[in-house]
Every structure is written in structure tokens, then in C-alpha cells.
Amino acid sequence: MRPLLDFENPILNRLIREQWKFSKVSFAIIAQGVLVLVISQLLFRAKLGRHTDLIFISEALLILIAAPYLACSRLSQYYTPRRSREVLQLSRIHPRWIWVSIILGSQIYTFCFLGLITVVFIVLTPSISDITHLDVVQLHLVFGIYVIVAASVGGLWWRVLQHEVFATEATYLGWCLLIGGVFLLTPLDRYVDNLQPLIPPFLHLNPLIAVCHLLELDVFRTPHLYELTPIPSYIVVYPPWYIICSWQILIGSCCAALAWRNRV
């Protein structure tokens, strides 16, 4: 008897079969773990918080870096002229759903890494930090959302540019603007008497603020960032993580809708 997934979505089933090998999954998990440790060490040297908190921020940064690249790489692989004809012959689903299937299938390694590290943190958290199990689960729920959103943004740019490297770089530029937009407030501070009304939009659209909110980390009042933004000069309340996730979901939904307007 054929699996239900084989009948309903042969593209996604094929992508999973191609990637679901112990050696590939193990290598991907180890590589992502090493990258998280490297990023967290860089953040720790910048004195942005406790080591445990910075590991979670590093996870978020890794996802925003890896998810678009994996999505664009798989889209480029499956939409070469020869492979595209093969995919269309294989698939019995609507061509637009092929794009969705490739986007989701490309993130298998990232979801495996998130699942493993969630279990590790749930086991180790009581002995290494005061972060609760609920916080760990909520943080990785946020990361799961970011995986799909980042892959969707990367998929849209691939749809526009039709080039793996350029699409990935365009996605990174977007994240840099959302994350680093707060630093644009510094030159405005010279000309605007009160920046208080301008700060909330920058915080709502910054994906890392959701992590800071859950960790109760006031990252802008750390030694290295204190003088780089005018935010510490004002009374600022970080928006709740679920509101920031809602904005990210809206961004991802808009990207998916724009990519769906024409067949990918």
C-alpha cells in the first residue's frame, strides 16, 4: 500500500527521502550546532548578556541565516530546465504547491536541529540557568515560526531574481534592515526632539526582540550597545513575543502570496 504522503504530495515526499539519511542529518545537526556556538561566542565577547541567553539569540540568528539559503538552494536545484520537467511530470499537485513543498522540504535539517536542541535544553536548563521549561518551549516555537517565515522570504526573492546567491543576499539585506534598523535612530536623534513615537515600529519588526522579551534581556542597555542607539534614553517596553511573531507571520504570508501570484 502506497503511503498517503506519496499520493498527496510526491514532491515533498521525494525531498524528505533525499535528505533523510543518518549521515546527512547528523552532519547538518553538528554543523548547525558549531555555528550556534561560534555566533554565541562572538556575542559573548561583545558583552551582550549571559552565555545561556546568547545561545538562544544565536539560534535565532542561525535560522535567519540558514533557512533562506536552504530554500533558495533547493528551489534552484529543482527548477533547472531538466529537473523542472521531471518535477512537473512526477507531481500530481497544483504547480503553485510545488513551490510550497520545496520550501518546507528544504528545512528538514533545521527542524531536526531545533527538535534536538529543544530536548537538550529542557533536560539541562534547571542545572545551568533560571530559564523555565515553558520559556524553552516558547522560544523554540518562535524559532519554528522564523524557519518558515525566513524560507518564504528567501523563496520570494528567488522567484524575483531566479538566482540562488542573489536571492539569499537580498534576504539577508532585509534581515539586516529589520534587526539593525534601531541604529538608524542615532542620526535622527540629532534632529528630532522626541524619538519615543518612532521606537516601537523598529522593535515590533525586529525578530530578535521576541527572544529578548522571553529572556527578559534588555539588550540595548548592555555596555556595547548603550551608546550606539538612543533607546536607553527613553522608557521602552519590549513588545510581547507573540505580537512580534504575528508581524513575522504577516511578512511571511505576504511573501508567499506574492510568490503565488504567478506560477513559480
Question: Measuring CA to CA, which residue among 228, 176, 214 is closest to residue 61?
Answer: 176
Neighbours of 225 (CB within 10 A): 18
Cell 556595547 belongs to residue: 224
Higher pLDDT, 177 or 125: 177
Q: Which residues span the domain enclosing 177? A: 4-260
Report, as an integer, the average pLDDT of 201-220.
Answer: 92
At 232 the pLDDT is 85
61-73: pLDDT as tens digits: 999 999 999 999 9
Distance CA 1, CA 193 (A): 70
How many domains does the chain contain in total? 1
Distance CA 247, CA 101 (A): 23
pTM above the 0.95 mark? no
At 194 the pLDDT is 81
Q: Given pLDDT bands bounded at 50, 70 and 90, which one contains residue 7? A: very low
Amino acid at 226: Y
Asked whether residue 156 carries a pLDDT value surpassing 90, the answer given is: yes
83-137: pLDDT as tens digits: 555 555 555 555 567 788 889 889 999 999 999 999 999 888 767 778 888 999 9
